[in-house]
Amino acid sequence: MSIQVANLSLDPPVMLAPMAGITDLPFRRLVARFGAGLVVSEMVASGEMVTARPSVQARARVDLGLGSAGLTSVQLAGREPGPMAEAARLVAGLGAQIIDINMGCPAKKVTGGLSGSALMRVPDHALRLIEAVVGAVSVPVTLKMRLGWDSDCLNAADLARRAAAAGVRMVVVHGRTRMQFYKGRADWAAIAAVRGAVTIPVVANGDIASVAAARQALAQSGAAGVMVGRGAQGAPWRLAEIAHALHGTPAPAVPYGAARADLVAEHYEAMLGFYGRDLGLRIARKHLGWYADVAGAEPGLRPALMVAPDPAAALALIRSGFAATDAQSEALAEARAEADAERAAA
């Protein structure tokens, strides 16, 4: 099974969500290597992209790693049609295979500037942005949004209908309103209204962190695929696990013990190479923490990784700490799978 977006086939229909500060090139490459139908870049601010010096714009090709991390979509955020259109042309020229429009980010620094999910409060203006981006590029344009701004503004189905008429080729819906941020549980059933409003593919997003959750999200929403965000943190193989269970793709070789230590070390060194030693050391800490959490590592490993003074110390902790989690990791994974299945059946 695959999702057709213009001339592109998203196979399997399991995708990595854009996450600021997380879905950088090293992480997207790792997820794509395990198996994903699409990986999406961190959000790119259209105004900053357009006003940047040519040298900075050219650097974006390297930073985004277009063409080197599987089928890649670049997500743009902004509030004005002109800069959004120009930014779309720029990133398409750099090699973006899909342009995604951000109308789902709930962060105050984004919505305060009438970007992200704040655009759902002004659908006529949101449509002008959509029309500008679609008219600016020949690559497919997609839209990511929420159910609405709040419980009194649940307009995802109407906005999706208008977006599809304007030329958007796929819609991703996070099953919460903006005012919910990430609280409570995603309402996958509410996405069904969007699915019923359009003929283009609809993808479900929000709280999809396991095979059981993905299966339930598809059943409740009627969506054509799922997009995984936080569920991939510390588990870049998660998308491949879901794709295998739901669509029969090859099962990923989930690493345990020494193999997991090797993978974490590889990711860590890739981040150091991408960002440079000092910045990479800081940015990598959150990933190391997630790996420790998912692996069920000894309680002392996570805090030790957070304060490792240099790469050599961090790598030594990775080698010793994760190599000792073999049996613990498998047992924890089985327990979590059982718990997810029980929650999905409830």
**Could you tell me which residues are annotated as the binding site for FMN?**
18-20, 75, 144, 174, 229-230
Annotated binding-site residue numbers: 18-20, 75, 144, 174, 229-230
Q: Which of 22, 45, 105, 130 is catalytic?
A: 105
* End-to-end CA separation in angstroms for the chain: 28
Identify whether 105 is a catalytic site residue: yes
Catalytic residues: 105
